[in-house]
Amino acid sequence: MQVAETPQPYTATVIDRPLNDYSTILVEYYFKDTAAILALYDSEMNPFRSTVSRALIALFMIGGTASWFDVNDTGSEYFPRLKKHVQSLKTSGRMSPTGQSQAFFENTLACWEMFLAFVVDGDENEVFDSPHLPLLPADPEPEPRSIFPVVQIPHPVTGVAHEIHTTLARVGRLVRRNRRRAMSKQFLTRESILEAHREVDEAAELEIFLTNLQVPLESAIVQTGDSQTPTWHLTALAEVYRFVGLIQLYHIFPDTLVSRMSLQNSHAGGDVAQVSAHEAEERLRQFTLKAVEILRSIPAGSGTKDFHPFLIVAVCSGLTIPIVEVPASPQAMAGLGNSLALVAANVHRARGFLRGRLQLLLHSLPKNPIQRCIDIVEATWAETDNRHESSGRPAYWMDVMMQNNWETFMA
């Protein structure tokens, strides 16, 4: 006779994990948002979604996101660590000079250095070794009978603008060094005069390079695989970067703009008379408006949006409202007034777009650095619009930032 076993009550196995399990939340947040923010495009090609080198990626992530938590933290202390680590791997042979990892990290360093150059007073001897590797470790000389064109894989941080980033880093160091010296209010010395001459010469060299630099054709670039960020977004962004570099040089070293205008006038067979300050300011204004229009063509939802705040700050000084400084006849004033009104309307329209783009980014990107960018832009425009009460010159965004200690990592 068998005795039936008494059925045991069913008990489900419950995993003891709190609802606010921070490790799970952080991992989910990283793959949902952070990986996309750190890169220009988001697809299987985004190395932030794979293991490239954990220690190196960690240094870049910590430094690049420091301003998210403390707006005054530029993350600059982590840059030399990453640079030293990469150089150590190169010299030890643990990083192939033709491999994807070295190209990835050298380009990443170039971008990081570019952003820091505008907000940190750095030692020129600490600049990353050049020349940098190309964006794509491909043979620059294709086989003679090859029918396939050489294509370029866009880097997730520099996109297709590697040379522009390295040049912009030089522009940033040059301009910041100039503004720091101008704000020091020290007496002139022979050395300071020589330094000023060296700065003008370097500015002229950089202006020529950026003017002649051509952004790669879209057809020569591998598609990103991100529907939100087609390849043309990267080429447009690279063009805005190029404009930004020239705008800084033209604003701080106006001789470079005057020389460019005189050269263009001579080639066009026009009058080679001396370019006036008013003409130079108008050319800079139109140049800036063109840069804003290119940026306007890139949708706010593009994967490149994390890099827009810096570009907006860097172009804001060129959006000046024209003013009349010399008396003119009533007839001349009537025609001039219509022209100035049109220019002013274009400037207000451009400012409105930049304000709107920053407000959109304020709700889609980490708030702290974006709000700081808004503060810099608005203070620069306010000072520029009141320039008749001060020096008469348009305000420069870097001066405003430095005077208020508003440096932050703008990406």
How do residues 133-154 score in pLDDT, each as one tens digit?
333 333 344 444 445 556 788 9
Please, what is the end-to-end C-alpha distance for the chain in angstroms?
Answer: 79
In whole angstroms, give the CA distance from residue 301 to residue 153.
22
The candidate with the shortest Cα–Cα distance to 212, out of 260, 179, 147, 172, is 260
Burial label for 280, CB within 10 Å (0-12, 13-18, 19+), is middle
Mean pLDDT of 86-111: 77
Q: Which pLDDT score, from 0 to 100, does residue 268 have? A: 65
Highest mean pLDDT among 9-18, 98-107, 203-212: 203-212
Chain centroid offset of residue 407 CA: 14
Lowest mean pLDDT among 10-19, 213-222, 294-303, 400-409: 10-19
Do 243 and 315 meet the contact criterion of CB atoms below 8 Å apart? yes
**Using one digit for the tens of pLDDT, what is the confidence trace for 34-75?**
656 667 766 656 665 554 456 677 777 788 888 999 999 999
Q: Comparing 266 with 95, which gets the higher pLDDT?
A: 266
Q: Which pLDDT score, from 0 to 100, does residue 81 have? A: 84
